[in-house]
Chains A and B, each alone.
Chain A
């Protein structure tokens, strides 16, 4: 029994040695495999949610994402919808947005990019206000706070 324990211990130690030796050269491939696991995707609260609709203008594209109400065990009562402007964006942005595709505009957003000023005019009771409005590497992003009901 004592001998078995010693052999098992030394074997496990050498397995550890091998793991450390192959860890760094194999890091890319191990990381790739880990990234394929079902839970290895960013929470929509960080990505902004999937793109639900695109409005393409001359040189500018507006992505309207799906509203995000994700919670831990169930959806939360409050969330947000993210808007992304890509491409050659005008100095002043003035858009009316229907984020829930019910045919009715939910809010109007006005952005003065030069002065970093954002004004939101809610047209629906579910729209709370601007949570984030910021320049990004691709253009501009806004998150508008929403209530679920």
Chain B
């Protein structure tokens, strides 16, 4: 009966779901094809069509079933895997190796990623320069484009960027879903402040060294993208740290806790995005009249954004990444997507529909390139 209430609240009919999917259909078609679809090459055409259908089918099901998280996660995980495949494939094709050389650093050919941004700020203010061996404009993943993308996404989505935009988050999100039940249930509240401590230390050390120290020494995702050539004790130590952190925080801990451990306990970008949750228009709200304080939402939240105290107070913390897991888990539809200014418990459908359109559109377009490229590569391998 509870599920019927919930499904009746969020779920739409087949026709209505199609109607809601239509704008996504049109916009993604425009972006993916540039308005002029090119079907001359079979593998490109298949890849394009597959990616296009994937995103739109997932979006359709979000409306049709009333569930958010599982469909978001499918695209989110595929995005993470695709980006790693694309980067590694490109590295192997061009450089015959996953590692970048000193020449690549000297010629400033390193692709930029948003995780560098917190480390750039102090040096940018004091030295009026960017401390990264990349390209300011032009080329793959240039600094200006990535800054613009991240800035707009974080202003609009807040920490929602961590569940709808970050092309690394899909890794620990994926591993956190492997087990049915967690092995480790309780983790100290203190650890969720670790990303802020990491942010403080990497910002300071990057400013001192004029080097993005998080990227240089501790980013776990170096293990699945590209890293410095192992040619010395120092670079070997770094490689060891990357692999250990990836193994521990991205694979082992998420599997054992069913939480996104890397995002919760390390990522300094997560700390920055947490702060931007204060300005984003979208949020999650708790309808205290409907809430029975069963705490199912607290149990499923992958980022420790909810606690029994928060539920009692009827507030969701700033750690929320708007992934939708708690919304899907709530049998009373008490926790729901909301817009700031609109009281909790009201305009639930409107808020959800608007948020889903904005966030899914961003994720669909942002991920399209990597997914199409990966599918093309896989199709070329098969045929």
Q: A–B direct touch, CB within 8 Å, in complex? A: yes
Chain A residues packing against B (C-beta within 8 Å)? 2, 5-10, 12-17, 19-21, 23-25, 27-28, 30-32, 34-35, 38-48, 70-73, 82, 132, 134-138, 141, 143
Asked if A46 contacts B108 (CB within 8 A), the reply is yes
**A27 cross-chain contacts in B, Cβ below 8 A:** 145, 148-149
Partner of A46, one of B133, B149, B340: B133
B125 CB–A CB distance under 8 Å: yes
B103 CB–A CB distance under 8 Å: yes
How many chain B residues sit at the interface, stated as a range, is 35 or more
* CB-based closest 6 A-B pairs: A9-B341, A31-B144, A16-B156, A5-B341, A43-B129, A12-B281
Most buried by B among A32, A43, A136: A43
Chain B residues packing against A (C-beta within 8 Å)? 27, 31, 101-103, 105-108, 122-134, 136-137, 142-145, 147-149, 152-153, 155-157, 207-208, 210, 280-282, 339-343, 351, 354-355, 357-358, 361-362, 365
Asked if A9 contacts B342 (CB within 8 A), the reply is yes
Partner of B131, one of A19, A32, A46, A134: A46
**A13 cross-chain contacts in B, Cβ below 8 A:** 281-282, 339, 351, 354-355, 358
Q: Which residue of B lies closest to A25 (CB)?
A: B31
Partner of A39, one of B105, B128, B343: B128
Kindly state the separation between the CA atoms of A29 and B349 in the bound complex, as whole angstroms. 35
Partner of A12, one of B108, B340, B351: B340
Kindly state the separation between the CA atoms of A35 and B123 in the bound complex, as whole angstroms. 16
**B149 cross-chain contacts in A, Cβ below 8 A:** 23, 27
Asked if B106 contacts A10 (CB within 8 A), the reply is no
Q: Could you pull out 6 A-B pairs where Cβ atoms are within 8 angstroms?
A: A13-B358, A42-B134, A42-B136, A43-B210, A71-B210, A135-B103
A102 to nearest B CB, angstroms? 26
Asked if B342 contacts A10 (CB within 8 A), the reply is yes
Asked if A136 contacts B107 (CB within 8 A), the reply is yes
Q: Which residue of B lies closest to A138 (CB)?
A: B107
Asked if B103 contacts A134 (CB within 8 A), the reply is yes
Asked if B144 contacts A137 (CB within 8 A), the reply is no
Q: A5-B341, A13-B339, A46-B132 are in contact. List 20 more A-B contacts (CB 8 A).
A: A2-B343, A6-B341, A6-B343, A9-B339, A12-B281, A16-B282, A16-B358, A19-B152, A20-B358, A23-B153, A31-B144, A31-B148, A32-B137, A32-B144, A39-B125, A39-B128, A41-B136, A42-B108, A44-B129, A132-B102
**B357 cross-chain contacts in A, Cβ below 8 A:** 17
Asked if A39 contacts B130 (CB within 8 A), the reply is yes
Kindly state the separation between the CA atoms of A58 and B121 in the bound complex, as whole angstroms. 45
**A136 cross-chain contacts in B, Cβ below 8 A:** 103, 106-107
Partner of A24, one of B31, B101, B351: B31
Kindly state the separation between the CA atoms of A146 and B292 in the bound complex, as whole angstroms. 69
**A28 cross-chain contacts in B, Cβ below 8 A:** 145
A131 to nearest B CB, angstroms? 10
Kindly state the separation between the CA atoms of A72 and B122 in the bound complex, as whole angstroms. 9
Partner of B130, one of A17, A30, A42, A134: A42
Asked if A35 contacts B129 (CB within 8 A), the reply is no
Known: A35-B144, A41-B129. A134 touches B106 (CB 8 A): yes
